[in-house]
Structure 1
Amino acid sequence: MSKVVLVTGGSSGIGKSIGEFLHQKGFIVYGTSRNPERILNSVFPLLFLDVRNADSIGQAVAKIIATSGKLDVVINNAGVGITGPLEEIPMEEIKNNFETNFFGPIEVIKAVLPQMRVQKSGLIINITSIAGYMGLPYRSVYSASKGALELITEALRMEVKSFGIHITNIAPGDFATNIAAGRYHAPLVKGSAYELSYGKTLKAMDEHVNSGSNPDEMAEAVYKIILDPSPKIHYKVGAFLQKFSIVLKRILPDKVYEKMLLNHYKL
C-alpha cells in the first residue's frame, strides 16, 4: 500500500515542492494551509490547519486517518521567518514565531504519535534550518526557534524509539521560495542605533534567498529519508558553504567563528 504523508504548510515553497514530488512518486499526500480555499492548483488535497491552533491540528489528523486508515509520514514544514534587532522586535511577534516554528510542530507531533504507536511504525521529519545551528545577527529569534526544534527532536527520538517510530530533522539553507515575503521584518527605524547595520544585513538576507537553491532539492532529500529504514538524526541541505559553516562552528574557537560571521555580514 502507498504510504500516507502529511505535509504542513503544503501550499507554497518547500512544502509544496515536497508534496508534489511525493505525489508523483505514488504517495498519498495531504497538505495543509491556513487558507486552503485560496489554493486552486494543488495536485494533492489541502486541509485547513493552523499550527497555532490545536483543534485544527486534531481535526486535520483525524480526517486523514478516517479517510486513509493510517498515517505513515508527517513532515513538519509550516514555519515563518522573522528578522530584526532583538531590542526592536515586538514581544508578540517573538511569541508568534515560537508558536509557529516550535510549539506548532510539537502540537502536530502530539496529535500523530497515538496513531503511529498503534501502527508500531511512523516517520516524523521536522524541517528546521541551518540558521538553527548558530546565532545569526538580526535573525536571533528565528535561529532560536529552529535550534529548539533541532534539540527537542534529539530527545524525542529516544522517547519513541521502542514504538518503532523514527524522528529526524532536515535543515535547509537558503532556497528560492517566497519565505521572505511572508517573513516578519522589524521595520527599519530612522535614527535607530541599528538602522545602518540592520539595513545592510536585511538586504543581504533577501539576496541570499532570491539566489537560493531549487526547493526540489529538499523534496528529493525528503524522499530519500522516507526510503531509509534507519534515518539519521540530522540532515543538512543547501549550498556547500552553508553546510560547511556548521562544521566550522564545531571546530573553531567561539570568538573566531563570531568574527567570521561579523565579516560575512560586514558588521
Structure 2
Amino acid sequence: MDKKVVLITGGSSGLGKAIGTYLTSKNFKVYGTARNPKNYQGFDAFELLPLDVKIPETITKAVAEVISKEGRLDILINNAGVGITGPIEETPHEEILNVFDINFHGPIHVIKAVLPQMREQGEGKVINITSIAGYMGLPFRGYYSASKGALGVITEALRMEVKDFGISITNLAPGDFATNIAAGRYHAPVMDGSPYEAVYQKSLDLMNEHVDAGGDPIQVAEKVYAIIQKQNPKIHNPVGEFMQKFSLFLKKVLPDKIYERLLLNHYKL
C-alpha cells in the first residue's frame, strides 16, 4: 500500500514539527511548510516547502507541488498559527487583522486549495489545529480565543458541506504545550499609566508560566495519528492536561457567571 501523503502548515518547529516527525516514523509521506525554508538549514525531519498562509499564491504553489510529486494529497493538517495577547481596548488593530489572517483566513485558504484534489480522489482528511482557548473568551487573550473559536465553528459548517465527497474535517484543540509559541506571540505593550497595567502584566507572567510548564508535544502528534486512523473522527478533539479538558465540560454544565468566576480565580484577577 502506498504511503499516505500529509501536508502540515507551520511544520518547521513546535507542534508542526512534532506531528510531522511522528507521522514520518509511522510511514507517512510528510511535507511541512515554512515561510522561508532556507532559514532551516539542516532540517531533515521531512521536506519543507515555502508557504505563507497570508499569501494565497504560495499556498496554491505548495499544494500543486505536493500533488505533482505524489499524485495525491490525503491529509491536510492546518497547524500554522500565531499567538496574541493584550487588552481588547489597547491591542493595535493591525495586529488583530494579522492574527485573523493567520489563524482563521489562512487555514481556509489552504482548505480551499486542497479540496478539489481530495474531491477528485473521493477521500481526504483535514485536521484543523484550534485551541482549548477557542472554546472560551480568556482575559487578555480574547483575540486569540476568537480566531481559534472562529476556525472551530467554520469546521462544523464545512464538515456538513463536504460530507458527500468522502472528505472529513475535524478540530484538534491543544491546551498548553512546551513549544516556542510564546516567543513568536505578539504582546500588546504593557503601557505605563494604563488602567490595565498591573493586571495585564500579572496575566502575561502567568501565561508564560503555563507554556513553560506545558506538556510534551508528542501527545498532540499521537492524537493526530489516532484521528487519522478513524473512519469517522469526532468533530472536536481536545488534548491536554485533565483540568484543561475538564474545563470544557464545566463550561457546558455551569451557569455562565459561575464559569466566569472560575476563570477569574484561575487567572488571579
Please list every run of 5 or more consecutive structure 1 residues that lacks an aligned counterpart in the other structure: none
Report the CA distance between 1:233 and its aligned residue. Answer: 0.5
The residue identity in structure 1 corresponding to 2:34 is S
Aligned residue number for residue 207 of structure 2: 205
Residue range with higher mean Cα deviation, 39-48 or 98-107: 39-48
The residue identity in structure 2 corresponding to 1:259 is R
Report the CA distance between 1:93 and its aligned residue. Answer: 0.2
Percent same amino acid among aligned pairs? 65
The residue identity in structure 2 corresponding to 1:132 is G
C-alpha separation in 2, matches of 1:42 and 1:13: 15
Report the CA distance between 1:43 and its aligned residue. Answer: 1.6
TM-score of the aligned structures, taking structure 2 as reference length: 0.99
Aligned residue number for residue 97 of structure 2: 95
Report the CA distance between 1:116 and its aligned residue. Answer: 0.3
Aligned residue number for residue 12 of structure 1: 13
Q: Is the counterpart of residue 30 in structure 1 residue 10 in structure 2?
A: no
Q: How does 1:1-267 map to 2 (within 5 A)?
A: 1-39=2-40, 40-267=42-269
Secondary structure (helix, strand or coil) at the match of 1:88 reads coil
Please list every run of 5 or more consecutive structure 2 residues that lacks an aligned counterpart in the other structure: none
Report the CA distance between 1:230 and its aligned residue. Answer: 1.1
The residue identity in structure 2 corresponding to 1:6 is L
Post-superposition CA distance 1:32-57 (Å, at most 9, x none): 00110111223211000000000000
In the TM superposition, structure 1's runs of 4+ consecutive aligned residues that sit over 4 Å from their partners are none
The residue identity in structure 1 corresponding to 2:39 is R
C-alpha separation in 2, matches of 1:66 and 1:266: 53
Secondary structure (helix, strand or coil) at the match of 1:75 reads strand
Q: Do the aligned partners of 1:11 and 1:42 also contact (CA within 8 Å) in 2?
A: no
C-alpha separation in 2, matches of 1:217 and 1:261: 25
C-alpha separation in 2, matches of 1:136 and 1:19: 30
RMSD over aligned Cα, in angstroms? 0.5
Post-superposition CA distance 1:163-217 (Å, at most 9, x none): 0000000000000000000000001111110001000100000000000000000
Secondary structure (helix, strand or coil) at the match of 2:89 reads helix
Secondary structure (helix, strand or coil) at the match of 1:257 reads helix
C-alpha separation in 1, matches of 2:231 and 2:128: 17
Q: In the comparison of the two structures, how many residue pairs are matched?
A: 267
